[in-house]
Structure 1
Amino acid sequence: MTAGSTDRLERLTHREADWAGLRVLVAGLGVSGFAAADALLERGAHVVVVDGSSSDSTPEMAERARILEILDAELRFGPEHVAGMPSDPVDLVVTSPGWAPTQPLLAAAAQAGVAIWGEVELAWRMRPLEGAAPWLTVTGTNGKTTTVQMLTSILRAAGKRAISAGNVGTPILEAIMDPEPFDAIAVELSSFQLHWSDSIRPQASVCLNVAPDHVDWHGSYDDYLAAKGKVYNNTQVACIYNVDDPQTERLVEEADVQEGCRAVGFTLGTPAPSMLGIVGEVLADRAFVEQRRHAAAELASIEDLRGDAPDVAPHLVANALAAAALARAHGVEAGAVREGLRAFRPEAHRIAYVATLDEVRYIDDSKATNPHAAAASLTAYEHVVWIAGGLLKGADVDDLVRSAAPSLRGVVLIGRDRATLAEALARHAPDVPVVDVAETDTGTMDRVVSQASSLAQPGDVVLLAPAAASMDMFVNYGARGDAFAEAVLRRVASGE
């Protein structure tokens, strides 16, 4: 890349800048790659899209390719096109978030000095010059989607035109290019997206928690932690951190923020000044009130978070506090926080109540795809029959099993890496009954639920919180959760 190309990219800070003729290679034709190519073509850039699969690998891929061809993009499909940089000149590479820095094309681009942006970086630079909606950004190992959707519900209760975008729901570029401007955008950011982003200046930001995850993609836990910490860079009003996870406070301390930006903590304990927390059964704000040393604003009650569920998990309360802090940083009144949290309903497979049979509750938290998420789910209940296992992706489960042991009534293990969990249970919970289910056929979940039910006592919870990915047995975590819920409901219908 030439010095002229570098200077030109530095000037691309809004959609009215001169994008015409910019030579852009878009890596990957997934949802975000399509949105990036579409936005760039609209601004007059010359776009080449490369993807290692074939153009008709899925109906969605074929449709995206057809549309981009009509818009005059150049499309190159096949593994040979992602094995390195093309011979024709390129000013910029825009990568899909799943592509790791070690991917050969991206590694070659970096070696050649070609700038690499993620679609989030591109979206920030595609905002309008005037009247751009502020971004309220959320990252964390777990809880991102729930927090972003809670925040959007609060913003809408305050009368704002708001949307959830980024790693959840709408691609961020679609939100940015919407012809009707938003008042605020709640942006979920994965560590992958943050790795490829540098220019974002959020109004307020939060890292909910940090635990080892995606280390294979980032190369080390330190690199993963650094990527998460980028959520705080350039924040204007408030960096929200988790008092109960000191790593997040350290990330705030290390961030380069805008002058006047505040650090605001959230805690499940009693809040100190400049924090949000719990007083009795009330979510209280001692950060965004005038007399925060001596007063607090009541935002909501824990009961307001219940929705259709029989109880409220602690990590759901923590997510609500984080969402409330972001909304308050945006200027939302306390009453709208309560209304938004009351209106919120979590997505499927996130601490989802399924049914009660013989005084035993069945809870689907199939979204708990890593040990950190499973630990949060397990701490919500006093006595648990735990359904766990799947693809651990090399994750260490010893701390999880050690902390969960006192609450375990029994464990039913499924999936490819169940032996790793069995070994940890033998070390840290030797007296807990363990059932190993080796089958992986479509009827497996009926046996799993039957075994779990036999271990449960009245008042217990049978909890699907696998601590592992699902692809060894199911298409995704949603299919795993659906199979569990269907097996439970069949058992309820039979009256067993």
Structure 2
Amino acid sequence: MDWQDLPVTVAGLGVSGVSAARVLRDLGARVTVVDGGDSPVLRDRAAELTGITVRLGDADTLPEGTRLVVTSPGWPPSSPLFLAAAAAGVEVWGDVELAWRLRKPLPATGEPAPWLAVTGTNGKTTTVQMLASILTAAGKRTAAVGNVGVSVLDAVLAEEPYDVLAVELSSYQLHWAPSLRVHSAAVLNLAPDHLDWHGSMEAYAADKGRIYQGNQVACVYNLADPATEELVREADVEEGCRAIGFGLGTPALSNFGVVDELLVDRAFVPGRDKNAAEIGSISDVNPPAPHNIANALAAAALARAYGVDAKAVRDGLRAFRPDAHRIATVAEVGGVTYVDDSKATNTHAAAASLRAYDPIVWIAGGLAKGAEFDDLASQAAGRLRAAVLIGADRALIREALARHAPDVPVIEPAEGQTGAVAMAAVVRAAAELARPGDTVLLAPACASMDMFTNYGERGDLFAEAVRGLTD
């Protein structure tokens, strides 16, 4: 594409928008950034973008002469700017599409670095980081990029090129990446999320399914989630691309699974109709919760599709350390284990966390984002010692528990409180309800911003309050 003097509009003055604007400017494009906000922070940011026009307070009007729009991931398709672009016949790309178009060939192969891509409602970041750890153990220069870690634009334009990229992609990013065609991809799971942005579950699933389009070697799907396999069936892939399932049972032909505490590959082995390869063990996965073992199998499947040997899979899983607030054991106090899974901000993630422990004093609540809790309450009922509820939408969880777990004690100790004061009261209440052998589990199934800055602060304050139990 000839970028010289091409009029390009960048939607959004956030991190990805600023990065895209600078890259486009350096390519020679005439860049205008639009943002609906007009704060001192945005003005300072705009002042740093030399050689770029910034228009604050008006993000609805398409600048005259625009030939391409590059959007930040969070802008919904219904935005007036995009409707105006469609009416004018102007394409809209996301930052991932821009990065895909700007890839450089590797000196050794003459081809750009392959992308191994991951999406799903939950588990994306952990799986991509596991994958990057495995690739590193195999001696590859790699990075976890996309919706995590290094910016995908920075990765493809790095002075020292990467051999292969482990790419986390959100449904937002996939929506705006029409030409993306990766080496291999995985959809980990599908559950209702971001429906206000996509408009329907069908549209959300369709955007997730874009990750399989044009796959070259493997489409990796979750055997426990038929919707992910259906996306593989619907995908138009390159000839020879294979469907590879992963699950927690004994693997059938062309699948990854678990046999006698071992992680097993029956897909990328000679004579796979009769043979399998040991690629690690459950003890190599940190933490070894069921959903995290599934994440490890998905990462292993992508790595093996790329050609990584079994030893590197094992070594990479052993070396991996999860980010904070992802089913992390904080402490054991008085025979009770305290676990921080503050990252479980929707019902699907919370359900996975709840399946990992028994019995549980469950800390839940916050901003529900339109979610319903009946299925979650029904599934968790037999594991719950008690529930401690917080947040603006806690009544929705209380009512679901009353319908499906009426014998489970429910308390709400932090009404009207926020921050550290609220979390200290919650942890004290949970400690009083718990018995030796129990797990006090922070898996809120909700967003955090009604009481905390973000899920990270929520988890940090939980850990601080747990440590306070021993003071």
Q: TM-score by structure 2 length?
A: 0.97
Q: Map 1:264-283 onto structure 2 (within 5 A).
A: 264-283=244-263
- Name 1:229's counterpart in structure 2: 209
- 1:267 and 1:318 in contact (8 A); partners too: yes
Distance in 2 (CA, whole Å) between partners of 1:113 and 1:436 is 54
Distance in 2 (CA, whole Å) between partners of 1:366 and 1:42 is 40
Q: Map 1:138-177 onto structure 2 (within 5 A).
A: 138-177=118-157
- Name 2:55's counterpart in structure 1: 76
- Name 2:171's counterpart in structure 1: 191
Distance in 2 (CA, whole Å) between partners of 1:108 and 1:170 is 32
Q: Map 1:375-390 onto structure 2 (within 5 A).
A: 375-390=351-366
CA-to-partner distance for each residue in 1:253-310, whole Å, 9 max, x for gaps?
000111110000001000001000000110000000011111111101111114xx5x
CA-to-partner distance for each residue in 1:391-420, whole Å, 9 max, x for gaps?
001111110110010100000000000000
Following superposition, the deviation at residue 111 of structure 1 comes to 2.7
Distance in 2 (CA, whole Å) between partners of 1:441 and 1:247 is 38
- Name 1:65's counterpart in structure 2: 46
Choose which of 299, 310, 314 in structure 2 pairs with 1:338.
Answer: 314
In the comparison of the two structures, how many residue pairs are matched? Answer: 465
Distance in 2 (CA, whole Å) between partners of 1:151 and 1:206 is 11
Choose which of 90, 99, 118 in structure 2 pairs with 1:123.
Answer: 99
- Which residues of structure 1 form unaligned runs of 5+? 1-11, 13-17
CA-to-partner distance for each residue in 1:30-59, whole Å, 9 max, x for gaps?
11111111111121111111112236326x
1:297 aligns with 2:277: yes
The one-letter code matched in structure 1 to 2:49 is L
1:354 aligns with 2:330: yes
- Indicate the SS of the match to 2:40: coil
Distance in 1 (CA, whole Å) between partners of 2:189 and 2:71 is 26
Distance in 1 (CA, whole Å) between partners of 2:268 and 2:410 is 49
The one-letter code matched in structure 1 to 2:83 is A
1:37 aligns with 2:21: yes
Following superposition, the deviation at residue 342 of structure 1 comes to 0.2
The one-letter code matched in structure 1 to 2:13 is L
Choose which of 273, 284, 287 in structure 1 pairs with 2:264.
Answer: 284
Following superposition, the deviation at residue 440 of structure 1 comes to 2.3
1:441 aligns with 2:387: no
- Name 1:210's counterpart in structure 2: 190
Over the aligned positions, Cα root-mean-square deviation in angstroms equals 1.1
- Indicate the SS of the match to 2:331: strand
CA-to-partner distance for each residue in 1:118-160, whole Å, 9 max, x for gaps?
0101100011154311000000000000000000000000000
- Indicate the SS of the match to 2:89: coil
The one-letter code matched in structure 2 to 1:194 is L
Q: Point out 4+ residue stretches in structure 1 off by more than 3 angstroms.
A: none
The one-letter code matched in structure 2 to 1:83 is D
- Name 2:451's counterpart in structure 1: 473
The one-letter code matched in structure 1 to 2:40 is D
- Name 2:377's counterpart in structure 1: 401
- Name 2:241's counterpart in structure 1: 261
- 1:84 and 1:105 in contact (8 A); partners too: yes
Distance in 2 (CA, whole Å) between partners of 1:465 and 1:104 is 37
1:463 aligns with 2:441: yes
Q: TM-score by structure 1 length?
A: 0.92
CA-to-partner distance for each residue in 1:469-490, whole Å, 9 max, x for gaps?
0010111100000110100011
Distance in 2 (CA, whole Å) between partners of 1:239 and 1:440 is 47
